[in-house]
Amino acid sequence: MKKQRLVSLPSLKDAAKRNPSESINYLITKIAPSAFLLSWGQGKSFCIRTYGCQANVRDSETIRSYLLAIGMHEQDSFDNADFILFNTCAVRENAENHLYGELGQAKDAYNKNKDVIIGICGCVMQEEVPVRHVLKHFPFISLIFGTNNISSFYSLLEESITKNELIVDVKSNSYQVVEEDQIPSYSRGSKVSAFVNIMYGCDKFCTYCIVPYTRGKERSRKEEDIINEILCLKEQGYKQVTLLGQNVDAYGKDFNNSYAFAQLLEKVAKTGIERIRFVTPYPSDFKLEVFDVMQKYPNIMPSLHLPVQSGSNTVLRRMNRRYNREEYLDLVKEIRKRVPDIFITTDIIVGFPNESDQDFEDTISLVKEVKYDAAFTFIYSPRPGTPASKMKNDLKDEVVHERFDRLKVLVDNLTEARAKSFENQIVEVLFEDTSKKNNSMISGYDRHGKLVHVKGDASLIGQIKKVKITESRTYSLIGEIVDE
* Contact between 312 and ligand SAM per CB under 6 A: no
Question: Which of 9, 16, 53, 183 contacts ligand SAM by CB under 6 A?
Answer: 53
Shortest CB 93 distance to ligand SAM, Å = 8
For ligand SAM, the binding residues in 317-336 under the rule CB under 6 A are: none
Burial of 479 (0-12, 13-18, 19+ CB in 10 A): buried
- By a kind-dependent CB cut-off of 5 to 8 A, residue 56 interacts, out of ligand SAM, ligand SF4, none, with none
Q: Which of 90, 91, 109, 300 binds ligand SAM (CB under 6 A)?
A: 91
209 binding ligand SAM? (CB under 6 A): yes
Q: Which of 227, 268, 235, 261 is nearest to 246 (CA)?
A: 261
What is the closest distance, in whole angstroms, from the C-beta atom of residue 201 to ligand SF4 in the complex?
Answer: 9
Choose one: 34-42, 206-214, 268-276, 451-459; the region binding ligand SAM (CB under 6 A): 206-214
Nearest residue to ligand SAM, using CB?
307
Smallest distance, Å, CB 14 to ligand SAM? 21
Q: Answer yes or no whether residue 123 interacts with ligand SAM by CB under 6 A.
A: no
For ligand SAM (CB under 6 A), the number of binding residues is 18
CA distance 178 to 212: 19
What residues contact residue 367 under an 8 Å CB cut-off, 6+ apart? 311, 348, 375, 407, 410, 411, 414
Least distance CB 175 / ligand SF4 (angstroms): 18
Minimum Å gap between C-beta 218 and ligand SF4 is 9
Choose among ligand SAM, ligand SF4, none what residue 83 binds, the Cβ cut-off being 5 to 8 Å by kind: none
- Selection from ligand SAM, ligand SF4, none that 216 binds (CB < 5 to 8 A by kind) is none
Of 4-12, 203-211, 422-430, 463-471, the segment contacting ligand SAM by CB under 6 A is 203-211
User: Is 322 or 338 the residue whose CB approaches ligand SF4 more closely?
Assistant: 322
Q: What's phi and psi for 187, nearest 5 deg?
A: -110, 40
CB of 319 to ligand SAM, least distance (A): 10
Closer CB to ligand SAM, 142 or 309, in the complex: 309
What's the rounded Cα separation, in Å, for the pair 441 and 423? 18
Mention every residue, 6+ apart, whose C-beta is less than 8 A from residue 315.
309, 352, 355, 359, 362, 363
Q: Which is nearer to ligand SAM, 402 or 471 (CB)?
A: 402
Binding of residue 92 to ligand SAM (CB under 6 A):
yes
Which entry of ligand SF4, ligand SAM, none binds 174, CB below 5 to 8 A by partner kind? none
Interacting partner of 8 out of ligand SAM, ligand SF4, none (Cβ under 5 to 8 A depending on kind): none
CB of 306 to ligand SF4, least distance (A): 12
Which three-class secondary structure string do you get for the chain?
CCEEEEEECCCHHHHHCCCCCCCCEEEEECCCCCHHHHHHHCCCEEEEEECCCHHHHHHHHHHHHHHHCCCCEECCCCCCCCEEEEEECCCCHHHHHHHHHHHHHHHHHHHHCCCCEEEEEEHHHHCHHHHHHHHHHCCCCCEEECCCCHHHHHHHHHHHHHCCEEEEECCCCCCEEEEECCCCCCCCCCCCEEEEECEECCCCCCCCCCHHHHCCCCEECCHHHHHHHHHHHHHCCCCEEEEECCCHHHCCHHHCCCCHHHHHHHHHHHCCCCEEEEECCCHHHCCCHHHHHHHHCCCECCEEECCCECCCHHHHHHCCCCCCHHHHHHHHHHHHHHCCCCEEEEEEEECCCCCCHHHHHHHHHHHHHHCCCEEEEEECCCCCCCHHHHCCCCCCHHHHHHHHHHHHHHHHHHHHHHHHCCCCCEEEEEEEEECCCCCCEEEEECCCCCEEEEECCHHHCCCEEEEEEEEECCCEEEEEECCC
**Contacts (CB under 6 A) with ligand SAM, residues 383-402:** 383
Minimal distance, residue 460 CB to ligand SAM, in Å = 32
Cβ closest to ligand SAM, residue 187 vs residue 324: 324
- Which residues of this chain interact with ligand SF4, rule CB under 6 A? 202, 204-206, 209, 211-212, 246-247, 282
Distance CA 147, CA 56 (A): 9
CB 282, min distance to ligand SF4, A: 6
Binding track, positions 261-300, relative to ligand SAM; x by CB under 6 A: -------------------x-x------------------
Residue 212, contacted partner among ligand SAM, ligand SF4, none, CB below 5-8 A by kind: ligand SF4
Sole binder of ligand SAM in the list 247, 303, 345, 415 (CB under 6 A): 247
**Nearest distance from C-beta of residue 475 to ligand SF4, angstroms:** 24
CB of residue 331 to ligand SAM, shortest distance in Å: 14
Q: Which amino acid is at 363?
A: T
Residues near ligand SAM, by CB under 6 A = 53, 91-92, 208-209, 211, 246-247, 280, 282, 307, 309, 347, 349, 378, 380-381, 383
